[in-house]
Amino acid sequence: MLVALEEARSLLLGGGEGRSPAWCAVLGRVIAAGCAQLRRQGEHGASARALCDTIGHSMMPQRWRAALFVQCVKDLDRAGQQERACRLCEAAHTSHLDANGHLSSASVASLLESSGGGSSTEALKLGAVQLMAVRRVLKKLAVPPRRWKRPALPSLAAPREVHLRGDEVLDGGDAGRRLGWRAADGSIARGVEEYVRLHYLSGAGGTPWSKGVHLENALFLSLFALLMWDALFAPLPGAFGSSSSDAPDDLLSGCGSFASRRADIVGALLKRIESAAPDEQLDGTVPQDTPVASPRAHLSLSARLAAAHAAHYGEECIGLDWSRLDLPLLQWTATALGGRVVAAICRALADDYGGFSHGAPDLLLLADRPSAAARFVEVKGPNDRLSDSQVAWCDVLARAGADVEVAYVERCV
């Protein structure tokens, strides 16, 4: 892999200006994989140098430059170059405070001090999750004596934290193979997430949860696809690279171009979602009066999902796997969460689909009436911590009023 890294760097820096952006993106993937190998070997400085050269290249696509910029900042920090990392973070933070939200190419080239390859003239814009990640690094680095004046950073909504203790079951003693965690009923839960799910379904915490779902991201992506279908497939000039594309090209750009280019339709759809009529049915079954597709504003979230499902079933769309899609679960989830939370989920994905397409909470707990409750739970085992995308999702959900908590599971001593 390291040999491939050097070959990719040579191709990029030695003659990449004449290459297409798609070819440079392939080289970028090879370089990113090689840098990951360097980090596994503890060579963060070498990884940062390779990333600096790649980010500043004139033909590297914007999406890749932004992702590698964030990793470069982290590598510089780990390599002991905190001052340089701090300056990069400060430049990115301040540039995204105005309406333009772009870090100029001159600033990038100057701060990166790349070794060649044709400096990019395109300004750099970070996605929402990438910007939050950079600001987290800045918060850690901009402290005395490096910085006597702390930067004014946006606050993040903190989820509730709970700490659970459990017995980890090992095969053959303390040094044996991990089998799982012992649940309250004596069974062995295969993994820490399943242990926490069974913990809540047993009635712990006082809420009688009737269903616990291993969430990850599939449910959020399905909600977004069905509820925002009209925005995804709006007939804009040049939106799709080919007739067989399952999403517009700018959805994964990470710099908000999808939402800004469709501001009117995205805004209208989000307003309808947020103000959707209440749905009395919360038992996880499909309503009997499943409607046909309709743009009427008074439809409930459950009815909107059923309408989109009926109108578009089987059509190719990013984030949808029709063979695995559970419509009753989607309806139950949307109704339990309410329009404000569902709109926040869709807004986050519209603004930064690439950044928010991973990192959703591990579990979703649902309760029947009368409580009609829903709770997101991010599960962290021993020595585990929240990633940037997980912090971003917790912030989005908590700000919208969702019940969000992080469950830290520790081994019983």
Please, what are the averages of pLDDT over each run of 10 residues along the chain (413 residues)?
78 64 81 92 92 78 85 94 93 74 56 51 78 94 92 91 85 63 79 90 82 89 96 86 82 82 94 83 46 57 95 94 93 94 96 93 87 88 91 96 94 76
Give the pLDDT confidence score for residue 109 in this predicted structure. Answer: 55
Strand partners, 119: 57
Same domain, 136 and 226: no
Count of domains for the chain: 2
> Between β-strands 211-214 and 363-366, what pairing exists: parallel, antiparallel or unpaired?
antiparallel
Same domain, 133 and 229: no
Whole-angstrom distance, CA of residue 146 vs CA of residue 127: 27
Q: Is residue 407 part of a domain?
A: no
DSSP 257: H
Give the pLDDT confidence score for residue 215 in this predicted structure. Answer: 82
The domain of 293 spans 217-358
pTM: 0.88
Distances (CA, A) of 231 to 234, 258, 259: 5, 9, 9
Give the pLDDT confidence score for residue 176 in this predicted structure. Answer: 56
Q: Is residue 173 part of a domain?
A: no
Q: Is residue 168 part of a domain?
A: no
Same domain, 238 and 109: no
* CB contact burial 220-236 (16+ within 10 A = b; e otherwise): bbbbbbbbbbebbbeee
Give the pLDDT confidence score for residue 295 in this predicted structure. Answer: 47
Same domain, 121 and 225: no
Q: Is residue 83 part of a domain?
A: yes
Q: Is residue 210 part of a domain?
A: no
Phi-psi region of 368 (alpha: psi -120 to 50; beta: other; left: phi over 0): beta
Nearest to 391 by CA among 66, 129, 77: 129
Give the pLDDT confidence score for residue 116 in this predicted structure. Answer: 44
Give the pLDDT confidence score for residue 278 in this predicted structure. Answer: 76
Chain centroid to CA 311: how far?
A: 28
Same domain, 125 and 228: no
| Residue 218: strand, helix, or coil | helix
Same domain, 10 and 116: yes
| Residue 91: strand, helix, or coil | helix
Instruction: Report how far apart the first and last C-alpha atoms of the chain are (Å, whole number).
Output: 41
Q: Is residue 186 part of a domain?
A: no
Q: Is residue 112 part of a domain?
A: yes
Q: Is residue 63 part of a domain?
A: yes
